[in-house]
Amino acid sequence: MKHMADYVLMTDSCCDLPAELAEELGTEVLPLRLELGGKTYRNFLDGREIGFQAFYDAVRGGEMPVTSAVNVGEFEEAMRPVLESGKDILCLCFSSALSTTYQSAVIAAKELEEALPGRRVLVVDSLCASMGQGLFVWLCAREMQRGRTLGELRDYALETRGRVCHWFTVDDLNHLKRGGRVSATAALFGTMLSIKPVLHVDEQGRLIPMEKCRGRRASLLALVDHMEKTAQDPGNQTVFLSHGDCREDADFVAEEIRRRFGTKDVRVSYVGPVIGSHTGAGVVALFFLGAPR
């Protein structure tokens, strides 16, 4: 069901949507980059330059990837042909608290609007990450298919972004330590005591540690507990789950959600290599619509 809108929905690869879903939605996705083992890869959703498995194998083997945002030139290159074809753009970007991608899109939009009078590029900071951003893009794409205008969809995006809840847990504290998210001492004691942190993305789109659980199973159940507290009508919404190459753990959470809330539509996919560079392997992340985060 593709509605022929007079604008295009654009986002970046931190949305971690399955490639076929992004294609089905008609969303244009710009890849962020990562450097790994002396080579640079673009993070395409279909893994064409670096596969998910290969990436997580490298990280488990001790590689420390370095990531970079989509720059102004890359946005201009993607946006210009769309505008020249007579369509406008709504661009939904990875949280500005975690990347400069949003700022780059804003600069590119301003330059192109000046260069091509009469064309519009609206940029929204999603304040989301991974499949939280994916869920946000998916919700907006559905509204676009229902016929919302460019301005209406921007308003919907601004109203909806603060309701996309993100809860996740990591398996390896040392990865968060390397990223400066926890101290070396906390990582050492946490690892010895099998402490698993539960984190979320706050209203400003920042990554915040919320609680500590003893053991993996407890941390996975904690994600569902948080959903129970804040989800709106959990049985009737589409829930997204992403994982850092630990499908069984993600399936365990999905099963728990179905059991507790009767949710029918739970979609599970990989955490892509750019987000995975910061979380390490073994991350499990849960995204749903709720009361304010």
pLDDT at 2: 45
As a whole number, the mean pLDDT across the chain is: 92
Question: 33-48 pLDDT, tens per residue?
Answer: 999 999 999 999 999 9
**1 pLDDT higher than 60:** no
In tens, the pLDDT along 251-274 reads 999 999 999 999 999 999 999 999
The highest-level CATH class for domain 163-289 is alpha beta
What pTM does this model have? 0.93
Q: How far apart are CA 206 and CA 69, in angstroms?
A: 16
CATH of domain 7-162: 3.40.50.10170
Residue 18 CB partners (closer than 8 Å, separation 6+): 45, 267, 269
Half-sphere exposure of 11 (CA within 13 A, CB side): 35
Q: Where in the chain is the domain with CATH 3.40.50.10170?
A: 7-162
Residues of the chain with CATH 3.30.1180.10: 163-289
